[in-house]
Amino acid sequence: MFGFAITAIFVSYQILTDSQSLIQRDSSLMVVFIVLCPPSLLSIAFDPEVGTSHFYFLWTVIALVNAGLYVTVRALVGRRLQHPD
């Protein structure tokens, strides 16, 4: 759920700070989001316009991949903690 929540917050931030908004995007906050959501780099390749159906579809896929990433990391760390070498 953590990976999905991070992506949802990232998408919300993008919607609030789109090109038509009066609020400017903070570069350092965007870097934090990219570090917390590495699959978001996929959005650079496809670059859908904010608010379109393509945008929401792409970010749904990114959210699922990010959630899977966090589940995998959690499983690996949990296994490592249960069976230390």
For the stretch 5-62, pLDDT in tens is 999 999 998 888 877 778 888 889 999 999 999 999 988 888 888 888 999 999 999 9
CB 50 within 8 A of CB 15: yes
End-to-end CA distance of the chain: 29
Phi-psi region of 51 (alpha: psi -120 to 50; beta: other; left: phi over 0): left
- DSSP annotation of 40 reads G
Angle made by CA atoms 36, 41, 42, in degrees to the nearest 5: 130
* pTM of the predicted model as reported, rounded to 2 decimal places: 0.80
